[in-house]
């Protein structure tokens, strides 16, 4: 049987019509799809807390009456030839001074809540007060030693410039840190170094104030929470 010409040409045309219909349908479907609504946000970080800045000795005030040590977390013995002036400010609990000489030594006894910065931060803060450049942690480690104290674990450091010298011992208790900072001329610090070491050695927990633990002479001192070569950030 012979196929007529018009019958042979009708198949390509119908196939083309079907393909065109499929293409139109795909365009319609793709045209309905919307690109996702992409939103960008810029996270605003909370500003870092400001560094601890203790008031200077010039801002210290007070009644001149020695502090009632029975209300404090620690106690200490004032060395012979020293006096408790009672001079204080926001952080300073009291001020001790040597007596009997013009070029004396002043000891600021201060406390702050919690751990007051790392060892490196504290050392560099005190160095800044003497107009000394800051140091990196490996340079700070040799400048810090354990405080001479059998009651509490603490640290001590010594620094000076041409005119002034600072000798600082500090102890970290459960909820606050205590600082004993002696300042004076290099010669005055040398003269009264033994008295300062005696003061530092006498610092101990005030068992009358520590109501959470009954007075017990056998209670061991709190272990060290850090060491001179480890920062407690």
- pLDDT recorded at residue 174: 85
Q: What are phi and psi of 229, to 5 degrees?
A: -105, 20
Is residue 88 a contact partner of residue 60, using CB atoms and an 8 Å limit? yes
CB proximity list for 87: less than 8 A, separation 6 or greater: 60, 61, 62, 64, 94, 95
- pLDDT recorded at residue 16: 55
For residues 153 and 88, give the distance between their C-alpha atoms in angstroms, rounded to a whole number. 25
For residues 37 and 156, give the distance between their C-alpha atoms in angstroms, rounded to a whole number. 60
For residues 205 and 156, give the distance between their C-alpha atoms in angstroms, rounded to a whole number. 18
- pLDDT recorded at residue 134: 97
Domain positions in the chain: 63-205
CB proximity list for 38: less than 8 A, separation 6 or greater: none
* Residue ranges for the chain with pLDDT beneath 50: 3, 6, 26-27, 29-30, 32-63, 210-233
- Beta strand 154-160 pairing with 144-146: antiparallel
What's this model's pTM, rounded to 2 decimal places?
A: 0.65
3-state SS assignment for residue 14: helix
Q: Tokens in use for 194? A: 């033994």
Q: What are phi and psi of 87, to 5 degrees?
A: -70, 130
Concatenating the DSSP letter of every residue in 37-82 gives --------PPPPPPPP-PPPGGG-B--SPPP-GGGSSEE--PPTTE
CB proximity list for 27: less than 8 A, separation 6 or greater: none
The CATH homologous superfamily of the domain defined by 63-205 = Mog1/PsbP, alpha/beta/alpha sandwich (3.40.1000.10)
For residues 44 and 141, give the distance between their C-alpha atoms in angstroms, rounded to a whole number. 36
Q: Tokens in use for 127? A: 């160095």
For residues 158 and 17, give the distance between their C-alpha atoms in angstroms, rounded to a whole number. 95
For residues 232 and 16, give the distance between their C-alpha atoms in angstroms, rounded to a whole number. 79
């Amino acid at each position: 049987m012979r196929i007529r010409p018009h019958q042979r040409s009708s198949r390509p045309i119908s196939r083309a019509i079907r393909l065109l219909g499929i293409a139109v349908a795909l365009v319609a479907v793709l045209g309905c799809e919307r690109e996702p609504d992409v939103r960008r946000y810029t996270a605003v970080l909370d500003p870092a807390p400001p560094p601890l800045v203790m008031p200077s000795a010039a801002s210290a005030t007070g009644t001149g009456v020695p502090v009632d040590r029975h209300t404090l977390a620690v106690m200490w013995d004032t060395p012979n030839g020293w006096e408790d002036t009672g001079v204080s400010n926001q952080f300073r609990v009291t001020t001790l001074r040597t007596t009997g000489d013009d070029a004396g030594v002043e000891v600021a006894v201060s406390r702050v809540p919690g751990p007051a910065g790392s060892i490196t931060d504290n050392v560099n803060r005190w160095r800044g007060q003497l107009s000394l450049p800051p140091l990196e942690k490996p340079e700070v480690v040799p400048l810090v030693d354990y405080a001479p104290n059998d009651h509490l674990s603490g640290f001590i450091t010594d620094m000076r410039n041409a005119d002034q010298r600072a000798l600082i011992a500090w102890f970290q208790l459960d909820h606050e840190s205590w600082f004993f900072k002696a300042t004076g001329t290099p010669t005055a610090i040398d003269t009264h170094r033994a008295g300062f070491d005696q003061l530092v050695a006498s610092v101990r927990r005030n068992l009358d104030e520590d109501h959470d633990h009954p007075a017990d002479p056998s209670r061991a001192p709190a272990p060290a929470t850090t060491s001179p070569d480890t920062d407690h950030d």
